[in-house]
Structure 1
């Protein structure tokens, strides 16, 4: 039976972290999807930043430095901790961060559901310690987690999580092998921003907007939000020299030094008119819809965006850890090629765009990973439904 909700909407608390862009992007995508479903009571909190600001800034810098300067150390730590359990000494330590902040948030916000896009599981840890009744009288608060990679680190697994939203059927099976009931796992894909909620047909106007020719192949280079990918200049030079018509769209993100450096190096290059430089692009889904293939770092959200666009992927020198795991997974599905030197990378790209049959096979492999519905909308629907909210009619089930 359905009854009028008298203006009531479930309040949803989304907890994220600022270690990389993906976790925040996923949180924003879910918030936007909840709003589009008619629910406007979403609170987003960077749990580590608000509970331990000094420690958050220090660990975030260490993470970024280790990720770029000593990646093998980062990869070693990732692999060593990958099988850890929630109740191990280190696992319990990690999930203790933000516990006091969570108590205050629950008292202040009284949320009906909590979503995690980063595995700081202070709330599920509290529930397991049977402390929640003193914070939120009655039943425990439903907790959800959105895994933002194609690889499963055991840090994401906690018995206090009610439902997992994952990118692939393989992740669902892996969670099942760890004792998570299949009914608690939804294969939705990784949530993406509003521009990725529906397909986009390339138009002449869209090519014109970005200064690209609609009848020439477009190689999209995305080093990441911070614009950090080695050998960008050498790769651009090789691609321009090896293909007489290929266009390069290089998205430098927030790295203004990279954009300036590339612009200076290619100022007098005979094919400079085929090299298009961009800073941070808000409507990146538009560029993806125009591209023939994508060269990028294998972050989970970027890969999910490329899958949405049906783009064959070239992943350059993936960093040990979740990036290398992501890259190997997509390579195993025939959707990506991994390269470690600019010459080999350029050769692989040129071979693909010169071979229509190979290009079509690559696109089909990517399309096999696509989901029928937008992940963010599907996640919002699941959560609102489990909160008893009928988004279509603005009503709550009794």
Structure 2
């Protein structure tokens, strides 16, 4: 069995998205041929410091983009990273241990720093026993930090980006154009948007990830149009959701408001236009879905290339303000939708919805199958304790949280985390509050608990992962909930843990009623 390590980091969602999608594609096409792990050594090595730096990075690109642009240029034009490798000494030790223990056949980086750490580990001239592959997540404006390091191959999203590497002196055989690794689901979803000959209002998807102060008023303006049907995503920002709901209370205002969702492929492939900032993953997913993009914000540096990719290929336009967005929609839909048709034709030429599958096949070809992997991670292996009656003791965690509430990992990542550590059973018990109480209503705005509109997706996600948990790790996965009954005093407060639920339970019920419902299941 081939062993593949994928290194990522949480500085921008594009890196994590690419890493997860490559892993999923490998597991999809070769479930019995390869063992794949996604690792974030910044998180595991630096913990709270990494959290602080990551939050500072996000604040910088959103609040002071010009300052971040100057930092980006310093990293691009100097040897800043190479000159400061000493600060990554802890990561170097951790990666050296991982490479020695796991003996991977292929190492994939979706974040550039890891290649410099590998260079430092092998600075003594020792040969590497693995293929080294870099998945570049930026387009056109590619920081030189991506290709100043050593890598056997650099995988890029398009020919424009490949030209940047060619002009920088990267040998042609090391450059491969596969497209951005969006989820392979894009290659499987049928596209029926333009099959119906009848003229209907076009569906517009507005991803509110910037310009939140202006968003509610813009949503109201868009809702007043009769030529579109609007869908708005607000993520976990409950306050923003409430503001938008207050703006569109009139019956004439028809809009669908969605919170956090993992069904972006389905959303993009059922809408005719998307309004969003020029984030790498979002733009590339829109291209894969053949959905033209109206770009509402561009972060200087890495996002400039994404914006250029859309504008220079006439797949959409730049509209940095509410008035410009309204004008862009009018232009797209006027004159028999000539503008929209041009954008769709052009973005279809760039679309590579099966990119992650192509990348997965490439990695599998490079990975040498010589060394069989251990059944479990060596540094987490354990003996099995036998009882007198011959049965073994099970290792279980029946109380864990995912990103659906206050956890840090997705459901899939939790399955991998516990499965790789030999757990026999896992129950996800994300927080849910009684929204009819004062404290519960306030807590529901925090983004740290499940809301009623997310519960269905939560149970569906766990249900889908149950089969993979069983097949890959022989682990039982269960759905659960942690009911928060928070009053103003200790006597009026309680938390109730429900393990192995088959369906949701109304959080408005009293503790006694909830217990009865749990027992009934």
Where on the TM-score scale, by shorter chain, does this alignment land: which range? 0.7 to 0.9
Which residue does the alignment assign to 2:342?
Answer: 361
**In the alignment, does 2:234 pair up with 1:232?**
no
Which residue does the alignment assign to 1:5?
Answer: none
**In the alignment, does 2:22 pair up with 1:30?**
yes
SS in 1 for 2:37: strand
Report the more deviating stretch, 113-122 or 75-84.
75-84
> Residue 36 and residue 298 in structure 1: after superposition, are their counterparts in 2 closer, same or farther (change >3 A)?
same
**Structure 2 CA distance for aligned equivalents of residues 196 and 328 of structure 1:** 23
Report the more deviating stretch, 97-106 or 357-366.
97-106
> Residue 389 and residue 369 in structure 1: after superposition, are their counterparts in 2 closer, same or farther (change >3 A)?
farther
Which residue does the alignment assign to 1:370?
Answer: 351
Matches within 5 A, 1:37-48: 37-38=29-30, 39-48=33-42
Which residue does the alignment assign to 1:101?
Answer: 94
**Structure 2 CA distance for aligned equivalents of residues 162 and 304 of structure 1:** 24
In structure 1, which of residues 150, 158, 172 is the aligned counterpart of residue 148 of structure 2? 158
**Structure 2 CA distance for aligned equivalents of residues 223 and 20 of structure 1:** 16
**In the alignment, does 2:62 pair up with 1:79?**
no
Pick the structure with greater CA Rg.
2
**Structure 2 CA distance for aligned equivalents of residues 119 and 214 of structure 1:** 47
Per the normalisation by structure 2, the TM-score is: 0.65
SS in 1 for 2:142: coil
Alpha-carbon offset, residue 303 of structure 1: 0.7
- Does the Cα contact within 8 Å between 1:84 and 1:155 map onto a contact in 2? no
**In the alignment, does 2:205 pair up with 1:220?**
yes
- Does the Cα contact within 8 Å between 1:115 and 1:143 map onto a contact in 2? yes
User: Unpaired segments of 5 or more residues in structure 2?
Assistant: 371-521
SS in 2 for 1:294: strand
In structure 2, which of residues 47, 58, 62 is the aligned counterpart of residue 68 of structure 1? 62
**In the alignment, does 2:141 pair up with 1:149?**
no
Which residue does the alignment assign to 1:319?
Answer: 299
In structure 2, which of residues 46, 51, 54 is the aligned counterpart of residue 52 of structure 1? 46
Report the more deviating stretch, 231-240 or 112-121.
231-240
Alpha-carbon offset, residue 344 of structure 1: 1.6
Alpha-carbon offset, residue 378 of structure 1: 0.9
- Does the Cα contact within 8 Å between 1:327 and 1:336 map onto a contact in 2? no
How many residues align? The count is 363
**In the alignment, does 2:12 pair up with 1:20?**
yes
Deviations 1:6-44 (A, max 9, x none): xxx110001000112221111111111111122341111
> Residue 296 and residue 271 in structure 1: after superposition, are their counterparts in 2 closer, same or farther (change >3 A)?
same
Alpha-carbon offset, residue 295 of structure 1: 0.2
SS in 2 for 1:51: helix
Matches within 5 A, 1:313-352: 313-352=293-332
**Structure 2 CA distance for aligned equivalents of residues 358 and 382 of structure 1:** 37
Alpha-carbon offset, residue 97 of structure 1: 6.8
> Residue 254 and residue 87 in structure 1: after superposition, are their counterparts in 2 closer, same or farther (change >3 A)?
closer
**Structure 1 CA distance for aligned equivalents of residues 52 and 326 of structure 2:** 37
Which residue does the alignment assign to 2:377?
Answer: none
